[in-house]
Structures are given as C-alpha cells and as structure tokens.
Amino acid sequence: MQQIIIYSMDSCPFCIKAKELLKHEIDMGLVVEKKATAAPKGVTGFPHFESKKTNKSHTGLPSSKADLFHSLGHNSENFEFKPKSIPVWVWIVLALVLLSGIVFGCVEIFKKKKSTLAPNLTNAFSYTSLNRSNNFM
C-alpha cells in the first residue's frame, strides 16, 4: 500500500539523492514516484513528499529516512516492510510432502537393492552350490 508520494524532477540533484535514499521503499511500493508537474498547487521546491496516511508534507532533501518519516508523522519502525507470516497449515503440508518424498525415496532404494542382492543370495545358498562344495570334500 502506497503511503508516501515523492514528487521530483529528473534533473534535480536533490531529487536523485532522495530517490537513492528511498530506493528500497520505492522498490517495495511503499513510496511512489511522481513527476514534479503532477505536484499539488503551491509546491515551490523539490523533492516534495506527501503522506497519504497523515496528510502531512515535507519539501527538500531529508537528512535521513527517519527524519523524513518523522516529519511526515510516520513511525519509521512501523513503516518498514514486514512480510506476512506463513500460516501453520502451509508448514504442515510442506512437512508432509517432504516426509512422503523421503519415505518414497527410501522404498525405491530398498526395492532396487533387494532386486540386485536377491539373485546373488539365492545363487550362493542354492542346493546345487551346496552339493558342489560337498563334492570337493
């Protein structure tokens, strides 16, 4: 949800620095960039910031994000992007899928080993091989 709008000019060095300062928030969609021509009437300097949440504004390059958020009436800690937590049922489904994959993989390995070991074991302990060994004694 956009909460802050930055009005800026492409050739303004302070606007460029302000956008660099807020790059993360712009990328996350928390701060929206608009051209200076879209700024409200009465704005005389750039960059100009407006908060949709508090209806406060700030003009000029802020010294830090915290100063900007404070001047706009935002708590900088609450403004940070926080991903939603993953529901418990999703973790349970992922665990079951992983567990079933492990079990299935173990069963397939056991089947493969059983098929390769069984012929050797049956030949080694067959009646004919025992008779042959008895003939040599």
Residues paired with 57 in a beta bridge: 50
Q: How many domains does the chain have?
A: 2
33/71 same-domain check: yes
- Which of 59, 79, 99 is the endpoint of a domain? 79
Could you give the CA distance from residue 55 to residue 81 in angstroms, rounded to a whole number? Answer: 21
User: pLDDT per residue over 46-58, tens digit each?
Assistant: 999 999 989 999 9
Does 68 lie in the same domain as 8? yes
Is the same domain home to 58 and 8?
A: yes
Low-confidence ranges of the chain (pLDDT < 70): 1-2, 76-84, 107, 110-137
Name the residue range of residue 54's domain: 4-79
Asked if residues 75 and 51 have their Cβ atoms less than 8 Å apart, the reply is no
CA-to-CA separations, 69 to 34, 66, 74, in angstroms, rounded: 18, 5, 5
Per residue in 65-86, pLDDT tens?
888 988 998 876 655 555 567 7
pTM: 0.56
SS3 content of the chain, % helix, strand, coil (to 5): 55, 10, 35
My answer on whether 62 and 8 are in the same domain is yes
